[in-house]
Structure 1
Amino acid sequence: MNFLKNIFKETSSEESESSKEDVKYFELDKMEQFDEIDEISQSKPVVLFKHSTRCSISRMALKQFYTEFNYPEEKIDWYLLDLLNHRDLSNEIASRYNVMHQSPQIVVIRNGKAVFNESHDSISAEDLKQFT
């Protein structure tokens, strides 16, 4: 969670901070995780969020997604990719799941295949309801 806290540096209220602590995500930072993601996606959807730490649009999209994402982990998993530090993993997402690279971008994986993707201001946690 430190990654997200450092991005947002929010101190608005204890209540909003504590609700954000409940959001569970995994950092996507190793190529080996793709086999794990494909395996998990056999039983529930996996959301990959590609984020550029230098892009204000990406920061805003991530903040909105992070604030709105409230799906229980037994229904959906969320992986966050720091695009600037792991461009090779972003390239793997494009290649493996046959989606054009965008940033910011969410890609939903089911049964080892991309079934949904959105980018920029079209990113919405609400769109994920169809997968739960």
Structure 2
Amino acid sequence: MNWLPIKNKEQLDAALEESAGTPVVIFKHSTSCSISATVKSRLERQWDSAGLDDVKPYYLDLLSYRPVSNEIAEVLQVRHESPQLLLVQDGVCTYNASHMGISADALKKKLNA
């Protein structure tokens, strides 16, 4: 798994534009939260075996880039949570999960639905 960072609005806009042709996930991570660290590690371990090669994974350190996190919540019309995984297709959040509900298998099921 190769995370692509989101650190500013321009990178967020580029990820949303990219979602028109490729599914994009945005993982909002709190670097001070042990649950968030556990979920991130689990997702990374599951990613390759889940067959999600066509999905672009983006990562947001929401403590360092809180304004970008707020922008994501506003633009995608999702309530902010942490950790949070958002699936974006054609600029729209089609699935979101938080805390221990985040898994590569659940994401794959949503993509194949």
Q: Same fold (TM over 0.5)?
A: yes
**Percent of residue pairs bearing the same amino acid type:** 39
Q: Which residue of 1 aligns with 2:100?
A: 121
Q: Give the residue type in structure 2 aligned to 1:43.
A: G
Q: Give the residue type in structure 2 aligned to 1:80.
A: Y
Q: Which residue of 2 aligns with 1:11?
A: none
**Where do 5+ consecutive residues of structure 2 fail to align?**
none
Q: Which residue of 2 aligns with 1:131?
A: 111
TM norm structure 1: 0.78
**Where do 5+ consecutive residues of structure 1 fail to align?**
1-22
How many residue pairs match? The answer is 108
Q: Give the residue type in structure 2 aligned to 1:123.
A: I
Higher RCO by CA contacts (8 Å cutoff, separation 6 or greater): 2
Q: How far apart in 2 are the matches of 1:127 and 1:77?
A: 16
- Hey, which bits of structure 1, 4+ residues long, moved more than 6 A? none
* C-alpha RMSD over aligned residues: 1.1
Q: Which residue of 2 aligns with 1:47?
A: 25
**After the TM superposition, which residues 99-114 of structure 1 pair with which residues of structure 2 at under 5 Å, given as runs?**
99-114=78-93
Larger radius of gyration between Structure 1 and Structure 2: 1
How far apart are residue 112 of structure 1 and its match?
0.4
Q: How far apart in 1 are the matches of 2:17 and 2:111?
A: 16
